């Protein structure tokens, strides 16, 4: 398994050159512009200082902006794309917290009333309320919480789209004694990245649909890499959790749980993998899906739970 090289990322920003003074062979000095160490900055939608739903125990959670899936039932569709600075949100903001400066939308957090009108009216599945952070700045944000949290989880959007930043952030988190988890849609090939997995304690993997056509209908993407990752991560002890959202009629939830169970049953004899079965809820979902998708009944969720348990999932959480 080879190490994966660093590549440019569309949601990362790298800063800076600095003057460098060099001695010439004639004893004179000349100044050139030389690259200084790259400073990665990532677009962050929000930071939760205390979360009990983003992995085991009380954890800090960082939600990055940007996702390569376009799930019909996405509960946070404003995290999918980057702001285009079209300016419409500026017009509808009732608090005057958004302004258009030099062609860019600027957000003044101290004026924001958090009414969410900007994201509800955004036609681009984006948010003007993001901030660019360095990994060090994020650690400074959560450092005061260290006595009360056991780990750090990165989510999104899709956190693997900011892979280089996550590696840097997880190294800092490890230095503080925190466990590290990724909440991922599984589109990234983890089998080719020893460097990332060396600092990541586990992946909470979304398996949204086992059937290929259903997965494409829901996300716009193939499920091939997702299933490959499930098997690979289970094989190396890095599969922390499987997550499946149950949406009756739209997706075959029971079939997905059954197929996942069959696929991972051999690994469940040697390790514990949590299965989280999540009821679809309309909160935050965009139209028209909000008006057409149905939430499952308690009986439908229970059937999924029993199927998962029958294949050896000892910890099945229904939410």
134 Cβ contact list (under 8 Å, min separation 6):
39, 40, 41
Q: Which residues of 12-36 are buried (b: 16+ CB within 10 A; e: fewer)?
A: beeeeeeeeeeeeeeeeeeeeeeee
Distance, CA of 56 to CA of 241 (rounded, Å): 10
Domain limits, the chain: 43-79+128-318, 88-121
DSSP secondary structure string, 86-143?
-SHHHHH-TTS-EEEETTEEEE-GGG-----HHHHH-TTS--S--EEE-HHHHHHHHH
The SS3 of residue 251 is: coil
At the topology level, CATH places domain 43-79+128-318 in TIM Barrel (3.20.20)
Distance in angstroms (rounded) separating the CA atoms of residues 178 and 146: 8
120 closest CA partner among 100, 93, 98:
93
Burial class (CB in 10 A: 0-12, 13-18, 19+), 284: middle
pLDDT of the residue at 233:
98
* CA–CA gap between residue 76 and residue 120 (Å, rounded): 10
- Report d(CA 126, CA 162) in Å as an integer: 17
What is residue 171's three-state secondary structure? helix
Q: What is the mean pLDDT of each run of 10 residues along the chain (319 residues)?
A: 43 56 52 66 97 95 97 95 95 96 95 95 95 97 95 97 98 98 98 98 98 97 98 98 98 98 96 97 92 96 98 97
**Rounded to whole angstroms, what are the CA distances from 167 to 6, 8, 188, 274, 283?**
11, 14, 14, 24, 32
Asked whether 143 and 176 are in contact (CB, 8 A), the reply is: yes
Rounded Cα–Cα distance for residues 10 and 16 (Å): 17
User: CA end-to-end span of the chain, whole Å?
Assistant: 37
Class level of CATH domain 88-121 = alpha beta
Q: How many CB atoms lie within 10 A of CB 248?
A: 16
Position 38 scores a pLDDT of: 80
């Amino acid at each position: 398994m080879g190490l994966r090289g660093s590549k440019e990322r569309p949601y990362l920003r790298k800063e800076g050159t600095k003057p460098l003074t060099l001695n010439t062979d004639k004893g004179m000095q000349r100044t050139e512009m030389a690259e200084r160490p790259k400073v990665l900055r990532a677009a962050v939608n929000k930071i939760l200082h205390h979360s009990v739903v983003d992995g085991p125990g009380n954890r800090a959670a960082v939600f990055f902006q940007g996702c390569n899936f376009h799930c019909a039932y996405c509960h946070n569709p404003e995290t999918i794309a980057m702001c285009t600075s079209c300016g419409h949100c500026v017009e509808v903001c009732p608090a005057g917290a958004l302004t258009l400066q030099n062609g860019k939308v600027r957000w003044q957090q101290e004026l924001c009333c958090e009414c969410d009108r900007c994201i509800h009216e955004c036609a681009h599945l984006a948010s003007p309320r993001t901030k660019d952070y360095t990994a060090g700045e994020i650690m400074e944000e959560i450092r005061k919480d260290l006595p009360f949290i056991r780990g750090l989880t990165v989510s999104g959007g899709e956190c693997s789209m900011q892979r280089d930043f996550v590696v840097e952030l997880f190294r800092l988190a490890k230095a503080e004694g925190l466990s590290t988890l990724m909440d991922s849609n599984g589109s990234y090939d983890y089998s080719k990245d020893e460097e990332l997995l060396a600092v990541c304690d586990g992946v909470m993997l979304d398996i949204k649909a086992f059937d290929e056509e259903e997965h494409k209908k829901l996300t716009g993407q193939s499920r091939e890499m997702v299933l490959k990752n499930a098997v690979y991560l289970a094989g190396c002890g890095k599969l922390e959790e499987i997550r499946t959202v149950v949406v009756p009629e739209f997706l075959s939830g029971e079939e997905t749980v059954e197929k996942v169970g069959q696929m991972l049953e051999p690994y469940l004899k040697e390790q514990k993998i949590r299965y989280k079965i999540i009821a679809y809820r309309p909160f935050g979902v965009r139209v028209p899906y909000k008006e057409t998708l149905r939430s499952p009944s308690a009986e439908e969720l229970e059937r999924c739970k029993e199927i998962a348990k029958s294949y050896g999932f000892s910890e099945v959480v229904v939410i």
